[in-house]
């Protein structure tokens, strides 16, 4: 750009008139703008680094909760009021949902968690829901609480009045604790719980299995509380746990079982499927029952991440982090892919799944049933949460289970 300057008058020699130029201020303005851009970009980069670091930290913690599950379920509601036999809760999707559930709350005086059985809805006014409650002592108003699908947290005798034995079966890491309910049939039912749920998850189906005459073996597997731990002390999404199920099947056969039915909940369903793909001898298996099974862990992590409102690319990162923390390639425990390679399931499968599942997507079960309709019967429970099909309608669940086992076991 040319300079804009004024010359001194010839008639006034010796007079010097300073030049007026626009270059210096414009250069300074550009310098300030450049400096501002650098500061802005540096600030944005810092924010991006902090955001990525925070996201990575959250993903690492979330993956840790998967591979190191703990009994610290966040309490997401509270007790409005209670009487002997009833409890009033804020009106939410969970509190309005019909069926039978568990209720946990934190005792204000002892800070310990208490548990009771939550029954039918008795009344609602739009803001609150009053339900039937079976509890030794009603919870205090204001106590933090949560509705859960695990209806009972004790043992078969205390919860259901069923005689049982504490037994151990020989796993490759040592003696594995299990509950055993004797029965008149020679086909045993072996129940495999999900991630962090424990054997109490199987209490819901025990009365029906007992009525059908099946002996029931409700097992633990490695790294469960009270069970032997491996060197990693982490969950492996069935990649190692299937060997404990294999040992349980051998134990059943050694103790008189002529056949077994395998019942898997959530990750327990994934363990069952991995066992069926990898075990050297699965000839004893007569039938399979899966409840909200983890058939595709990447799809499950996608569902969890989406439910948290995080962008889709984060799900891929969470899958990578979960694989890193567990030491497992999630493709190796992809039951859908494994069944496709094998040509589908060999045994008849009864599959329960709720459309309201925000942990394991209903779509994976629907896909499993659609690909092998001659082997898989899918029972869809509208609105039911993760492993909540029984809770939504216990009678309907037991009827489906009884009819299936009568035909195939």
Sorted by where each begins, the domain ranges of the chain are 79-148, 156-296+334-408
For the record, the structure tokens of 2 come out as 């040319």
Distance (Å, rounded) from C-alpha 89 to C-alpha 93? Answer: 11
pLDDT at site 108 = 86
| Whether the predicted model's global pTM rises above the 0.75 cut | yes
Domain 156-296+334-408 has CATH 2.60.40.770: no
How does DSSP assign 9-54, residue by residue? PTTSTT-------SHHHHHHHHHHHHHHHHHHHHHHHHHHHHHHHH
Domain 79-148 has CATH 2.40.30: yes
Mean pLDDT (10-residue bins), the chain, 409 residues:
44 44 55 60 48 50 57 84 97 94 93 94 96 95 96 96 98 98 98 93 98 98 94 92 98 98 97 98 98 94 76 69 81 96 97 96 97 98 96 97 97
pLDDT at site 10 = 42
Residue 248 has, within 13 A of its CA and on its CB side, a CA count of: 31
pLDDT at site 26 = 58
Burial of 384 (0-12, 13-18, 19+ CB in 10 A): buried
pLDDT at site 194 = 94
H or E, element range at 268: helix 267-278
pLDDT at site 281 = 97
Which residue has tokens 């779509």? Answer: 363
Distance (Å, rounded) from C-alpha 202 to C-alpha 219? Answer: 9
pLDDT at site 51 = 43
pLDDT at site 295 = 97
Distance (Å, rounded) from C-alpha 328 to C-alpha 158? Answer: 38
Distance (Å, rounded) from C-alpha 308 to C-alpha 321? Answer: 17
- Could you give the residue ranges of the DSSP H alpha helices within 184-223? 206-211
pLDDT at site 322 = 73
């Amino acid at each position: 750009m040319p300079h804009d300057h004024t010359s001194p008058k010839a008639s006034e020699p010796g007079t010097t008139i300073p030049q007026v130029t626009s270059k210096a201020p414009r250069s300074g303005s550009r310098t300030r703008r450049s400096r501002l851009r650098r500061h802005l970009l540096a600030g944005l980069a810092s924010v991006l680094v902090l955001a990525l670091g925070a996201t990575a930290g959250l993903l690492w913690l979330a993956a840790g909760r998967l591979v190191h599950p703990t009994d610290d379920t966040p309490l997401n509601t509270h007790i409005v009021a209670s009487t002997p036999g009833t409890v009033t809760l804020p009106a939410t999707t969970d509190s309005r949902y019909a069926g039978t559930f568990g209720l946990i709350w934190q005792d204000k005086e002892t800070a310990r968690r208490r548990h009771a059985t939550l029954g039918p809805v008795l009344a609602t006014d739009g803001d609150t829901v009053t339900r039937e409650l079976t509890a030794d002592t009603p919870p205090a108003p204001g106590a933090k609480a949560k509705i859960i699908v695990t209806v009972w947290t004790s043992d078969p005798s205390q919860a259901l009045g069923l005689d049982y034995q504490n037994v151990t079966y020989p796993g490759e890491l040592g003696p594995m604790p299990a509950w055993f309910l004797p029965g008149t049939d020679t086909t045993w039912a072996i129940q495999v719980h999900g991630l962090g749920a424990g054997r109490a998850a199987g209490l819901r189906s025990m009365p029906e299995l007992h009525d059908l005459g099946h002996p029931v073996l409700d097992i633990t597997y490695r790294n469960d509380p009270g069970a032997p731990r491996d060197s990693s002390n982490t969950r492996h999404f069935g990649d190692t746990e299937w060997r404990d199920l294999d040992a349980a099947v051998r134990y059943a056969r050694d103790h008189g079982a002529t056949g077994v039915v395998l019942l898997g909940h959530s990750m327990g369903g994934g363990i069952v499927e991995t066992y069926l793909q990898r075990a050297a001898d699965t000839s004893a298996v007569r039938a399979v029952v899966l409840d909200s099974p983890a058939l595709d862990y990447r799809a499950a992590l996608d569902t969890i991440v989406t439910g948290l409102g995080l962008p889709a690319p984060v799900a891929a990162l969470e899958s990578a982090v979960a694989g890193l923390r567990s030491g497992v390639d999630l493709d190796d425990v992809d039951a859908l892919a494994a069944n496709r390679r094998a040509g589908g399931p060999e045994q008849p499968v009864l599959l329960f799944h709720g459309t309201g599942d925000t942990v394991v997507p209903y779509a994976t079960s629907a896909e499993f049933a659609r690909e092998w309709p001659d082997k898989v019967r899918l029972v869809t429970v509208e609105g039911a949460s993760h492993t909540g099909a029984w809770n939504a309608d216990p009678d309907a669940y037991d009827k489906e289970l009884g009819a299936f086992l009568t035909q195939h076991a």
